[in-house]
Structure formats: C-alpha cells, structure tokens
Amino acid sequence: MSAPGMPAVVDREAFQAQLDELRTREKAHTREGDAIAAARRRLPMVEVDAGIELVGPRGPVTLLDAFEGRRQLILYYFMWHPGHPAAEQCEGCTWCATSVAELSYLHSRDITYAVVCQGPEEEGRRYHDFMGWEMPWYSAQGSLDELLVGREVGMMHLVCYLRDGDRVFETYWTTRRGVEAMDYSYALMDLTAYGRQEPWEDSPPGWPQGWTGTCARLRTDGRPIPQWSRIAAGRSDDLGG
C-alpha cells in the first residue's frame, strides 16, 4: 500500500517489468522523432533578404553578419514589452534564453545561435547583461515584418537559416510548445514521478499539480524565476526604459 500521491510500491522484478514495457514505447517515440527530423531535413527552403537590418552592441548589422561566418544560423525571437521593467518582461522567453548556455557544440557543427529581441536595442541589451547571458543578442524591432513575414510579430519564434555564400534561406520555424526544443528543465521534469506538476498533465489522482498552466508557471513572487538569483547577486535590473 502506498501513501496518497505516491506511486505504488512493488518489488524490483515487478518494477523492471513495467519499466521494460514503457521502454518499448520510449524507443518507438525516439524512432518517430528521428523520422520527423529526417523529414525536416528534406523540407524546401525560402530565400530571405540577407541585408535585413539587425542592431547589435556596436550598431547596425545584417542578417548575413549574424551568421558570424558559419553555414547555419538559429535565431530565437524574444518577446518584448517596451518601457516595462525587467520583472514584467516575458517569463517564457527568459526561460528559453536561459536554457541555451553552452554554444560550442553548435559551433562545432557550423551553427551560430543568437537571440533577436523584438524591442529596443538598449532595453534588450540591459536585460541581456542583467541576466548574465553570453549569447549574441540583437534587436530586430524595425525589421520584424520582413523577418517574420506572415507570422505573428511579438510571439516567440525559433527560426533556422542556411547560408549559401551571400544568400540566406529560411529552412524551418516553430513557435509556442515547439520552442521546448531549447529547454532541458522540462525534459528532466518529464522523467520524474510527478512530472511538470501542472494541471493539464495526465497524472494519477493525488499527484501534486500546484503549478498553474498559464505563463505564471515560469514566475515566482512576481518575477521570471531565474531573475531572483541575479537580484541576489546584486546585479542591476534597470532597463532604462
């Protein structure tokens, strides 16, 4: 007998038997993911203007410049609330941007990763510095309609590009839950007995699900969760807006 909100307690043999059954499904899920990735590699692409302007710490650059000489580019489009303080900036985008820290593995495959702020360069740069991020960071406030043609400007997007000489092509994009590809925290939570602890999940009765299913799930005490360690370290969150 197990306590409420706890998995059943069984012997090692019974535990392993059910884990083996689940492993079959996990392997099928992995193979399907590989097949989807293979289909993604076979998508056509669309040319975009390589000269579209981004603004970096030293002024205007082009989309082509953002490749930093590499063959491929991944851009994360960070939602922004102009003039709002750091505590009111997008918790979801903060979660995504914080999750991608080590870039050397991407660079080894000739891929550059950068974040594009959908707001003013100065405000975004101050936020970038407050958070202690090291990834390349640009503002694309004046070029979003060109970069996100036909899509919802202001929404988080993850977009992949390929360079052929001085020509630039868009090869893939996703948004909403598609950007979970950037995250490891949720992937690890999904391995645990209680999962993400959010009410939309299919969990047994009594399982803790105290985290809201809204964007508030990525906040504590009025701020995006990872801001608190920066505040504790004495960093300024003044965005100058």
Distance CA 208, CA 194 (A): 7
With beta carbons less than 8 A apart as the criterion, state whether 166 and 50 touch.
yes
pLDDT score for 170 = 97
Structure tokens at 110: 């000739």
pLDDT score for 3 = 57
Distance CA 121, CA 86 (A): 14
Distance CA 199, CA 221 (A): 20
Low-confidence ranges of the chain (pLDDT < 70): 1-4, 241
The pTM of the full predicted model, rounded to 2 decimals, is: 0.91
Structure tokens at 81: 């609330």
With beta carbons less than 8 A apart as the criterion, state whether 223 and 87 touch.
yes
Q: How many CB atoms lie within 10 A of CB 235?
A: 15
Distance CA 36, CA 188 (A): 22
Question: Does domain 46-182+217-232 correspond to CATH entry 3.40.30.10?
Answer: yes
Nearest to 119 by CA among 51, 176, 49, 54: 54
Q: Classify strands 72-78 and 111-117 as parallel, antiparallel or unpaired.
A: parallel
Rounded to the nearest 10 degrees, how much is the dihedral formed by the CA atoms of 111, 97, 196, 222? 180
Distance CA 25, CA 240 (A): 51
What is the residue extent of each domain of the chain?
Answer: 46-182+217-232
With beta carbons less than 8 A apart as the criterion, state whether 180 and 33 touch.
no
pLDDT score for 113 = 97
Which neighbouring-strand residues pair with 223? 220
Quick one: CA dihedral 61, 165, 68, 116, positive or negative? positive
pLDDT score for 216 = 83
Distance CA 92, CA 81 (A): 13
Phi-psi region of 164 (alpha: psi -120 to 50; beta: other; left: phi over 0): beta
- The set of residues, in sequence order, having a beta carbon less than 8 Å from that of 152 and lying 6+ positions away, is 175
pLDDT score for 1 = 42
pLDDT score for 2 = 55
Nearest to 43 by CA among 162, 150, 148, 180: 162
